[in-house]
Amino acid sequence: MHNGALPDTEVLADRARTALERCGVTRLPESVGAPGAARSPITGQTLFPVEFDTPGSAERAVAAARDSFTSVWRDTPAPVRGQLVHRLGELLREHKADLAELVTIEAGKIRSEALGEVQEMIDICDFAVGLSRQLYGKTMPSERPGHRLMETWHPLGVVGVITAFNFPVAVWSWNTCVALVCGNTVVWKPSELTSLTALGCHGLLMRAAADVGAPSDIHRVVLGGAEVGEVLVEDERIALLSATGSTAMGRAVAPKVAARMGRYLLELGGNNAAVVAPSADLDLVVRGSVFSAAGTAGQRCTTLRRLIVHEDVVDQVVERVVDGYKQLRERIGDPYEESTLVGPLVGERGYTAMREALERAEAEGGQVLVGGDRRLEKDAGDAYYVEPAVVRMPGQGEIVRQETFAPILYVLTYRTLEEAVELHNGVPQGLSSAIFTQDQAEAERFLSAAGSDCGIVNVNIGTSGAEIGGAFGGEKDTGGGRESGSDSWKAYMRRATNTVNYGGELPLAQGVRFL
* Alpha carbons 4 and 424: distance in angstroms, whole number: 43
Bridge-based pairing of strands 45-52 and 34-40 is: antiparallel
Out of 69, 73, 127, 167, name the contact with ligand UN1 by CB under 6 A.
167
The helix-helix angle for 96-107 and 78-94 (nearest 10°) equals: 70
Applying CB under 6 A, the span of 57-65, 176-184, 305-313, 463-471 interacting with ligand UN1 comes to 463-471
Ramachandran assignment for 289, one of left (phi > 0), alpha (psi -120 to 50 degrees), beta (any other): alpha
| Nearest-angstrom CA–CA distance, 315 and 70 | 62
Q: For residue 140, which phi and psi values (nearest 5 degrees)?
A: -120, 150
Query: Quick one: 84 or 290, whose CB is closer to ligand UN1?
Result: 290
Fill in the per-residue mask, 106 to 135: x = in contact with ligand UN1 (CB under 6 A), - = not in contact: --------------x---------------
Binding residues for ligand UN1, how many (CB under 6 A)?
Answer: 11
Using CB under 6 A, pick the residue from 114, 301, 393, 434 that binds ligand UN1: 301
One residue of 465, 479, 480, 481 binding ligand UN1 per CB under 6 A: 465
Distance CA 187, CA 313 (A): 50
Contacts of ligand UN1 in 350-409 (CB under 6 A) = none
Check if 267 is active-site: yes
Per-residue contact flags (x/-) with ligand UN1 for residues 244 to 263, judged by CB under 6 A: x-------------------
CA distance 66 to 68: 5
Q: If 0-12 CB within 10 Å is exposed, 13-18 middle and 19+ buried, where does residue 369 land?
A: middle
Task: Output the smallest distance, CB 302 to ligand UN1, in A.
Answer: 4
For 328, list phi and psi in degrees, rounded to 5: -60, -30
DSSP three-state, residue 93:
helix
Nearer to ligand UN1, 341 or 466 (CB): 466
> Using CB under 6 A, which of 57, 166, 184, 433 touches ligand UN1?
166
171 contributes a contact to ligand UN1 by CB under 6 A: yes
Name the active-site residue from 267, 387, 403, 483: 267
What is the distance between the alpha carbons of residues 481 and 474, in angstroms, rounded to a whole number? 7
List the one residue from 100, 466, 491, 493 that touches ligand UN1 (CB under 6 A): 466
The distance of closest approach from Cβ of residue 103 to ligand UN1 in the complex, given in angstroms and rounded to an integer, is: 13
- Residues binding ligand UN1 (CB under 6 A): 120, 166-167, 171, 244, 300-302, 464-466
Task: Tell me the catalytic residues.
Answer: 267
